[in-house]
Amino acid sequence: MNRSRLHGIALAAALTVTLAGCGHEDVTRARLERAVGPAFADLYVQRAALLGDPGVTAAGVGASASCDRGGPKVPDVGPGPDWICMIHFRDDQGQPQDGRFEVQARADATYVAGGPSKLIGQATLTDRHGHDVPNPVFEWDGAFDPDH
């Protein structure tokens, strides 16, 4: 082998090793699922209280999330706007519901999630006093657990 070809192979190998560490694998499927489900449950309780139903609890909502990044051919790690989380929960009537939430996961261990308005309502809702207020579960910011 000539010297320039060896140099090219060595450079390619070094680049591969360097880029392998750039995937921000702190964002993982499990970590996102642990963050999104409970956050949704807490916000759903806030929504119920705004609507005048103080009997809804996070435990009663029982939200859990199943997340996927970009389909079956994309590894479920790393930040990006292509995460989808299916949130399974019980609504304020106790009925099981499933909603598809689009999630933008960020490398700084935060995320933004937004859900289907047919299931959770519009960006604003009318509270029990007749005021238009933001719907807490329409779109929200959250953070992953600090300890992974």
Give the mean model confidence (pLDDT) for residues 88-117: 96
Q: What percent of the chain has pLDDT over 70?
A: 81
Q: Which of 1-5, 9-13, 37-41 has the lowest mean pLDDT?
A: 9-13
Q: Which of the pair, 145 or 15, is modelled with greater confidence?
A: 145
- Asked if the structure places residue 49 within a domain, the reply is yes
**What digits encode the pLDDT tens for the residues 36-87?**
999 999 999 999 999 999 999 999 999 999 999 988 999 999 999 999 999 9
**What is the model's pLDDT at position 33?**
97
Give the whole-angstrom CA distance, residue 93 versus residue 86.
20
Global pTM reads 0.80
**CA 114 to chain centroid:** 8
Count of structural domains within the chain: 1
- Asked if the structure places residue 12 within a domain, the reply is no
- Asked if the structure places residue 18 within a domain, the reply is no
> Which structural domain range is residue 69 located in?
24-143
pLDDT at 15 over 60: no
Q: What percent of the chain has pLDDT over 90?
A: 76
Give the mean model confidence (pLDDT) for residues 99-125: 95
- Asked if the structure places residue 32 within a domain, the reply is yes
Opening angle at CA 86, ends 28 and 109, nearest 5: 30
Q: Which of 100, 58, 97, 98 is nearest to 83 (CA)?
A: 100
